[in-house]
Structure 1
């Protein structure tokens, strides 16, 4: 009974924090599926990465808030309009996630596990040899609570995202990747510094204070895949 009572208290505390969160309220007001949209918005407004006409790949896209932000950035801004959630689109967005994804007009979605070769092949086929301007990754594994295990799982996803970026980005392109402070963080920073000319760690205001998550942005490739 004591465990159940404690669980209820934790759930009530989480629910209170969630309902009073200004970013949750703002997301509801502005029609975003999750508060995470404001993480990408702040990163973009800091680094000016997303521009109309680009090809952007959104990894770990579900529930779709980052793709929604990208879609609005690509909406034409003729005659002072823009930011539309539907209608004409000046740019290409390819989204991927293991989980189901409620369709967003103009967003090409692939469902599957990014760690599997067949899913990567499907993503490669969708890119179809076109140079990618930006890759954004909000991917995170299911955490076990065992730091060494979780660090390895996080590291693998980041390494796969970096490998995909190296193979597909324009030379001046950018990768934005979710990472976590803790074991393995310094190695991921080194990986980014070895791969990109400019590396910026960013902790957006929309990331919860208690969260260990942060984001690494790499801009401009130092390396190119063999044979490119």
Structure 2
């Protein structure tokens, strides 16, 4: 038996109108110990454990006062922030509707919209010291296109972080296999003291997702200096 209490070989019957891909997804969900644990602990998604594990390794939420959650839906990452840093002001944004979270300001709008950055900044009483992003573009099934679309979101998130973060702040974003593109990695190294890549245990082994963790924001007037880069 698996940790979820289900036989890992268990299969779902193909219901009327249910595609094989949806059957595979449902089977994976039912046999995923992180899904069961998330439900038991009240997290909105298994993705909460990714931020928990990243925080345990990098200390992202220690002393956090203002946090921006890009791609907040369904809200798991902001739940983690509220639990681990209850003193922090949190603002999130997503195209998808997100149920209210106590202590979190939520905007249902496109982060790529011109007015989005000002809305996020206006919801805080000062510059954020942590910007987190679990955003990913909707896939179209073409690997290169999907990668480029998601990296476009990451680039916009990086630009937002560099424009708004307080000195010493941190930035975390989902990327995919191969890590952050070269040019973008250099921008991060120029603006942060350390830049690393990590794949938290909660990230499925068959998933190509990784996360880039940039810490020690130098501030917009800081001189360019080479940052450490270690893939873990």
Assess same fold via TM > 0.5.
yes
Correspondence 1:138 to 2:134: yes
State the Cα distance separating 1:22 from its structure 2 match.
0.7
Unaligned runs of 5+ in 1: 76-89
Map 1:80-95; keep pairs closer than 5 Å: 90-95=87-92
CA root-mean-square deviation: 2.4
CA distance in 1, matches of 2:140, 2:179: 14
Q: 2:89, 2:124 within 8 Å by CA — same for their partners in 1?
A: no
CA distance in 1, matches of 2:141, 2:128: 35
State the Cα distance separating 1:146 from its structure 2 match.
2.4
Give the length in aligned residue pairs.
Answer: 208
Q: 2:69, 2:92 within 8 Å by CA — same for their partners in 1?
A: yes
Aligned to 2:9: none
Greater alpha carbon shift after TM alignment, 142-151 vs 213-222: 142-151
The SS at the match of 2:56 is: helix
Aligned to 1:169: 165
- C-alpha spacing 1:207/1:183, structure 2 compared with 1 (3 Å): closer
- C-alpha spacing 1:150/1:199, structure 2 compared with 1 (3 Å): same
| Aligned counterpart in structure 2 of residue 151 of structure 1, from 138, 147, 150 | 147
State the Cα distance separating 1:182 from its structure 2 match.
4.8
The SS at the match of 2:175 is: strand
State the Cα distance separating 1:196 from its structure 2 match.
1.5
Deviations 1:76-115 (A, max 9, x none): xxxxxxxxxxxxxx22111111111100111111111111
State the Cα distance separating 1:74 from its structure 2 match.
2.5
Please report the TM-score for the alignment, with normalisation by the length of structure 1: 0.83
Moved over 4 A (4+): none
Please report the TM-score for the alignment, with normalisation by the length of structure 2: 0.82
Q: 2:172, 2:211 within 8 Å by CA — same for their partners in 1?
A: yes
Aligned to 1:80: none
Higher helix share: 1
The SS at the match of 2:74 is: coil
Aligned to 1:113: 110
Greater alpha carbon shift after TM alignment, 139-148 vs 164-173: 139-148
